[in-house]
Structure 1
Amino acid sequence: MSFVVENNGEQQVAALLQELLGTSDFGSFVNGEVVTGHGDEINLINPATGQAFLTYRDAGKAIVADAADAAINAQKVWWSMTASARGQLMWQCGVNIRAAAESLARLECISAGKPIRDCRVEVAKVADMFDYYAGWCDKIMGQVIPVPTSHLNYTRHEPYGVVTQITPWNAPIFTGGWQIAPAICAGNAVLLKPSELTPLSTTVLAKLLEQAGIPRGLVNVINGLGQTTGTAAINSPATKKVVFVGSPKTGAQIASAAAARVIPCVLELGGKSANIVFPDADLDRAVVGAQAAVFSAAGQSCVSGSRLLVHQSVYDEVVERVASATRKLAVGLPWHEDTMVGPINNQKQFNHVHSLVSDGIADGATVAAGGTAGAIAGGANGYFYQPTVLANVKNNMRVAQEEIFGPVVSVISFNDEEEAIALANDSRFGLAGAVWTADSGRGHRMAAEVNAGTFWVNGYKSINVMSPFGGFGESGYGRSSGYEGLLEYTQTKSVWVETAKDAAIQFGYSIQ
């Protein structure tokens, strides 16, 4: 299933867009049509070559307004359908995604710089998301509450109407599906603004959903810059809730903008997750887990286990074993089948990773593996960074406190369980964490004590659409996926029905 990408991928991308969108001209997807933006030109850069392969225009306020109108109208149609009918159409969405899976994966590989094998897995997971929420459509039920009066009191879960979703560049199609599926399952319409750096796969996804039969205009993808297109979407009167996946700094700005309109937010932000290894752990599995925790997706994952906390009695052994294995990871062009680690997505992020590693070394950390840019045949100008293991890191170093979002792990020693917990919680983030131990009681204690929205025992990065996902602290609030993620897209209404034949009038008023 290998494929060849020539030059910067211009021809391959154009062909894939023609196949999937019906046009190689790129813009926003509004009310079932690809429309050209009115704003500044935006160049899409191939992360593996550092060169532009496509140019499109920022959508801007007028196109956002058109998308909002389309969403309002489509949501009324969607919500008027039976729940079972909505579920059947969502199931067809999954069928369509699977039919286009290889082309979607190739498009994601070129535009986001992710290894092709990872892209195939993520596309498959997006199809699973629509399958899962298809089953929930006719199972969103309220409650009958036994109030101490003659009333029948029951609750209804109703959609917000139109929600705006803003997704990041590190996993565009995955995070797009992660949010679209529960939103439309709950009866909402969507304005989705992907990162301006990686808008292609999400736009195609919206087209596939429409081809499955969901109403035209129910899912609109508005492509452009955050300060223009994103701001316009948040400020649109149609938007009744905002969901943002990205950095804490931008998340705070979005939460402020939403608060000014008195509309709610879900924020899925950064992480600096602690992956904790005790001496009684199966070290073979822990070493493999430590690699998977941080080097998959070139470390560009919010749940990346970028802090590896190791008991001092096995510290040197674990550092050497992780470093030795890290040197063997296949770094290469993302469209090569054997590539395990691809490039950083963009120049700004590459510079950030390099800066944090340099600071760590200046503060006393030592390089056990990597620590430099990668030299990749065919990717001379790409944003490749060697998978890096930093030893002798102290938890107060910048490299241990700031989210690095790159293929870098900082290894920190600890002496006992209490210190491990203290170090894990010595972070403004609280997205994820893990522990490796043969002591089941310790595993449960660590899960209870570490401040994280997701925690693994003897594993790392097991994530499924059935399970809720979200963070503590500056990692955000609200939940994605699972039943909890579905409820984020609903409002609860309480209904009171008087059943008494001669009901008393409240407050003593007379009917005469």
Structure 2
Amino acid sequence: MFIDGQFTDAASGETSQTIDPSTGESVGTVAKAGPEDAARAIAAARASFEDRRWAGKRGSDRAAVLAAVGRGIRARAAELAELEARDSGATLAKAKGADVGGAGFWFRTMAEFAPRLDEPEPLPLTIAPGPSHNYLRREPVGVCAAIIPWNFPIQMAAWKISMALAAGNSIVLKPAPETPATAVKLAEILQEAGVPDGVVSIIPGPGPGTGEELVTNPDVDKVSFTGSTEVGRQIMRLAASTVKNLTLELGGKSAQVVLDDADLDLAVDGALYGIFFHSGQVCTAGSRLLLPESLHDDFLERLQARVGDIVVGPALEKGVTMGPLVSQKQLDTVLGYIDVGKKEGATLATGGVRLENDRLSRGFFVAPTIFTDVTPEMTIAREEIFGPVLAVQRYRDVDEAVALANDSDYGLASGVWGSPARAMDVAARLRTGTVWVNDYHLLSPKYPFGGFKQSGVGREHGYLGLLEYTEPKHVHVGLDARRENKRWFDMTIPRQR
């Protein structure tokens, strides 16, 4: 782990092994942070914030360091991508592009945004009787704690760290215990780029104990969490004791709505990508597919044919397009949902089994799975599975499609396939934080991201997301010294007669 500029063992001496999901073999051993380590990292972050070694820099100066981090990631891209693939099961193509490439892109974009925070925002004149100058400053929140899941380790580490640093904060990051390798490696790049000691600490460890310390410690001003809605609720309860600033990006059960005027080839490929990208282990996975009755059979036939083109295999193997699930635990969870789907009466159209041939027998592989005849009350239509399982539902008209899409506790993302005009009309009616029209899984550091309903609180990414790592401060400057124009003099000092 990395605390206050030093790579260090856990105070307890405990370690944990990380497992290659493709082979079931150990990738390596990492320090297992406990509450004492979290408290030490928080203390270092608080000291670094209070002495303003980072917060006191201008945004333009912070931008130069962030840009250097982006260059450092690019310089070590091959090393990071291979480590990410072995640690998380991401295919090498995904690890190189979305993960490592995305991480560098986030730092470079936040470097572009950071100087904007230097300039106060003028505010309108008030009704005060005398002249005044009013403006809004954006100041760092303080010490941030960030907790990330295992599905996009280096990219999510970059998301949290780049935004916190761009705004002048200090941050303690807790990677998921399953996938800590690239986040810890990122600490080397941050240090080489010139991030001062104590400003960033990275402590792999479990949620109970370590995560709780981050969420409840009074020296933490903000918590940013990405993960399940269930854990998000727990964090809200724990953080309430000190009324912390919260950003929560939580679960999803995203619907892809295919309209009857959609380009079928495009929509089929988009639906395929929406659910089977990264084996469905994506919070925005398009796990519900809503088809008009007029297209249902034709679309399914095309989709099943395309599923046959997916190459499932070890993450580092050339030509593989879908890798393993992250762990034995996640494999068991996904297979359990598949059993529930069959028991509740959905029709298993394809897949639904663990892949165990000689090449895959030691890894955590599940075949791409499609259920049809799914009804809204079924578990596989309502709960986030986080695996390559697609639930297909029929609809009669657009009103029913919108109702089905919105019939969810979640509201993270959705997709619409159809002519742009009709699709945008539908997009306006969907209760999700992101709607993709004739596209899917397109995230950018330039666009805000977050959920409606139980999919989260606040936004990340874009300038709007960066502002969530700041506190707005209104400053009023009175420009008139005449007593008669100071209303409060009536109360405090008798006027001269």
Q: TM-score by structure 1 length?
A: 0.92
- Is residue 466 from structure 1 mapped to residue 442 from structure 2 by the alignment? no
Deviation at 1:317, TM superposition (A): 0.9
- 5+ residue gaps, structure 2, are none
Q: Is the 8 A contact 1:332 1:376 kept in 2?
A: no
Q: Identify the residue that residue 104 of structure 2 maps to in structure 1.
A: 127
Q: Distance in 1 between matches of 2:426 and 2:11?
A: 52
Read off the aligned partner of 1:497 and give its amino acid letter: V
- What's the CA shift for 1:338? 0.7
| 8 Å contact kept, 2:34–2:205 | yes
Aligned-partner Cα distance in 1 for 2:59–2:460: 21
Correspondent of 1:344 among 325, 333, 338: 325
Q: Which residue of 2 aligns with 1:117?
A: 93
Distance 1:462 1:505 in 2: 54
State the distance in 2 between where 1:280 and 1:406 align.
29
DSSP-derived class of the 1:78 partner: coil
Equivalents in 2 of 1:510, 1:240: separation in Å? Answer: 36
Cα drift, residue 65 of structure 1: 2.2
In the TM superposition, residue 511 of structure 1 has moved relative to its aligned partner by 4.0
Q: Per-residue CA shift, 1:260-304, capped at 9, x if unaligned?
A: 111121110010000011121100000000011011101000000
TM-fit CA distance, 1:460: 1.1
What is the CA–CA distance in structure 2 between the aligned matches of 1:321 and 1:257, rounded to whole Å? 48
1:188-228 superposed Cα distances (whole Å, 9 cap, x missing partner) = 01100011111111111122111111112211101111111
Task: Describe the superposition over 1:21-49 as per-residue Cα deviations: whole angstroms up to 9, x where unpaired.
Answer: xxxxxxx1111211111344423222112
1:376 deviates by 4.5
Partner of 1:137: 114
SS at match of 1:343: coil
Q: Residue 390 of structure 1 aligns with which residue? A: 371
Write the letter of the residue equivalent to 1:147. T
Please provide the CA RMSD for this pair: 1.4
Using the aligned pairs only, state the percent identity. Answer: 38
**Residue 468 of structure 2: aligned partner:** 488
**Is 1:475 aligned to residue 475 of structure 2?**
no
Offset at residue 355 of structure 1 (A): 1.1
Post-superposition shift, 1:510?
Answer: 4.3
Q: Does 1:49 align with 2:29?
A: no
Aligned match for 2:278, one of 272, 297, 314? 297
- Alignment of 1:441 onto 2:421: yes
Q: Which amino acid aligns with 1:56?
A: V
Q: Is the 8 A contact 1:130 1:181 kept in 2?
A: yes
Equivalent position to 1:148, from 115, 127, 131: 127
Query: SS of the counterpart of 2:53?
Result: helix
Question: For residues 463-487 of structure 1, what are the alpha-carbon distances to aligned partners after superposition, in whole Å with 9 as ceiling and x for unaligned?
Answer: 1110000001111111010011101
1:177 aligns with 2:155: no
Q: Is the 8 A contact 2:27 2:86 kept in 1?
A: no
Contact 2:458 2:468 in 1 (8 A): yes
Tell me the secondary structure at the aligned position of residue 460 of structure 1.
coil
> Bigger shift: 133-142 or 501-510?
501-510
- The Cα offsets for residues 342-395 of structure 1, whole Å up to 9 and x where unpaired, read as 000011211111111111112222222211111254431211000111111112
C-alpha contact (below 8 Å) 2:57/2:168 kept by paired residues: no
Equivalenced residue count is: 484
* C-alpha distance in structure 2 between counterparts of 1:315 and 1:135, whole Å: 46
CA distance in 1, matches of 2:492, 2:450: 52
User: Could you tell me which residue of structure 1 aligns to residue 188 of structure 2?
Assistant: 207
2:431 corresponds in structure 1 to 451
Instruction: After TM superposition, list the pairs within 5 Å mapping 1:307-386 onto structure 2.
Output: 307-386=288-367
One-letter amino acid matched to 1:263: K
Deviation at 1:406, TM superposition (A): 0.5
State the SS of the aligned residue for 1:480: coil
Distance apart, 1:337 and its partner CA: 2.0
**SS at 1:77 equivalent:** coil
Which residue number corresponds to residue 103 of structure 1? 79
How many Å separate the matches in 1 of 2:77 and 2:68?
14
- Comparing 349-358 with 282-291, greater Cα deviation is found at 349-358
2:7 maps to 34
Aligned letter for 1:97?
I
- The answer for the alignment partner of 1:10 in structure 2 is none
Q: Which runs of 4+ in 1 moved over 6 A?
A: none
String of CA shifts for 1:221-272, please: whole Å, max 9, x gaps. 0111111111112222221010000001101001111111111211100100
Choose which of 65, 70, 92 in structure 2 pairs with 1:89. Answer: 65
Q: Is there any run of 5+ residues in structure 1 with no aligned partner, and where?
A: 1-27
1:73 alignment partner in structure 2 = 47
User: Once the 2 structures are TM-superposed, how far is the Cα of residue 506 of structure 1 from its aligned partner?
Assistant: 3.1
CA distance in 2, matches of 1:342, 1:408: 14
For 1:6, the equivalent position in structure 2 comes to none
In 1, the alpha carbon distance for the partners of 2:444 and 2:163 equals 14
- The correspondence of residues 202-241 of structure 1 with structure 2, limited to 5 A, is 202-241=183-222
TM-score of the pair, normalised by structure 2: 0.95
